[in-house]
């Protein structure tokens, strides 16, 4: 019995190792209707934002964080561009970071028209874009494969289901180290775009669900085997005891 318990634990524990190594925050949304982007509009590539799409679903990067203030109660802003979405499709954007970097993340998505017409959102986006483009280190991080810059000769407007993703990062720790309290280090994160299957179940959880089904089936098989073995042992003991009692009577 102890061997069976050990085997089941060995199967189940790998399913939960991710919970030990990282924290996760997420937001769920529907792909918006396709938006027409006029050719006269500024090229979105000029903003220098990391692009996330179903084809480029995982972005590993570092985000600036800061302690909450009256002006920025949710910390520092970072912006991403979600593109090539399917209108009406349910999506989940997750951000994963190491548990050794205590941070509170707030994720929100904003359609293009709302972003450019809101002074608060547009100011935040402009500040982040300017800071990113002026930093040589972030310039090196921009992946040219994720850019879809239109040709100068192509003056036709384009349509796409797009959203801006705003991530606010607030440092959530206290340290006796004055340097850490004064200068919050960047937080290493994975930003993951995950579509839902049938708008019900995140696609990335399919392997986990498969493992759960396998473990459940295996547990059922092992359980039936254990019950049968225990029943057999009890029956053998009963038969042996009956034989001993009959032997004593004959004597």
pLDDT (tens digit per residue) in 17-63: 444 456 999 999 999 999 877 654 455 667 889 999 999 999 999 99
Paired with 227 in beta bridges are none
- Position 233 scores a pLDDT of 86
Predicted TM-score (pTM) of this structure: 0.72
Three-state secondary structure call for residue 90:
strand
- Position 145 scores a pLDDT of 45
Answer yes or no: is pLDDT of 11 > 80.
no
Answer yes or no: is pLDDT of 15 > 90.
no
Rounded Cα distance, 189 and 61, in Å: 6
Q: Evaluate whether 190 touches 60 at the Cβ level (below 8 Å).
A: yes
The two three-digit tokens of residue 232, written as one number: 């057999």
Alpha helices in the chain (DSSP H): 2-12, 17-21, 112-117, 119-134, 136-141, 178-182, 206-250
- Position 241 scores a pLDDT of 82
Rounded Cα distance, 98 and 24, in Å: 9
Answer yes or no: is pLDDT of 136 > 80.
no
More confident residue, 210 or 67: 67
Answer yes or no: is pLDDT of 119 > 90.
yes
Rounded Cα distance, 108 and 77, in Å: 11
Please report which confidence band the pLDDT of residue 137 belongs to, taking 50, 70 and 90 as the band edges. low
List pLDDT tens digits, range 143-169.
554 444 444 445 566 789 999 999 999
List pLDDT tens digits, range 168-213.
999 999 999 999 999 999 999 999 999 998 888 888 877 777 788 8
Number of alpha carbons in the 13 Å side-chain half-sphere of residue 183: 2
User: Which of 2-6, 104-108, 177-181 has the highest average model confidence (pLDDT)?
Assistant: 104-108
- Position 231 scores a pLDDT of 84
- Position 238 scores a pLDDT of 84
């Amino acid at each position: 019995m102890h061997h069976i318990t050990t085997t089941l634990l060995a199967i189940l524990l790998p399913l939960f190792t991710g919970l030990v190594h990282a924290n996760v925050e997420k937001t769920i949304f529907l792909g918006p209707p396709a938006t027409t982007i006029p050719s006269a509009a500024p090229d979105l590539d000029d903003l220098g934002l990391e692009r996330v799409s179903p084809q480029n679903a995982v972005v590993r990067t570092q985000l600036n964080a800061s302690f909450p203030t009256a002006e920025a109660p949710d910390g520092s802003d970072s912006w991403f561009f979600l593109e090539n979405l399917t209108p009406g499709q349910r999506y989940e954007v997750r951000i994963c970071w190491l548990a050794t970097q205590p941070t509170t993340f707030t994720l929100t998505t904003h359609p293009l028209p709302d972003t450019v017409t809101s002074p608060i959102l547009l100011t935040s986006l402009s500040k982040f874009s300017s800071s990113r483009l002026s930093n040589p280190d972030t310039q090196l991080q921009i992946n040219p494969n994720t850019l879809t810059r239109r040709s100068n000769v192509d003056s036709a407007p384009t349509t796409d289901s797009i959203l801006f993703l705003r991530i606010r990062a607030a440092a959530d720790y206290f340290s006796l180290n004055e340097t850490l309290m004064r200068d919050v280090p960047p937080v290493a994160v994975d930003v993951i775009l995950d579509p839902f299957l049938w708008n019900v179940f995140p696609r990335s959880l399919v392997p986990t669900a498969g493992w759960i089904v396998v473990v459940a089936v295996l547990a059922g098989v092992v359980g039936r085997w254990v019950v049968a073995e225990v029943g057999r042992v009890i029956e053998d003991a009963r038969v042996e005891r009956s034989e001993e009692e009959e032997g004593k009577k004959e004597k």
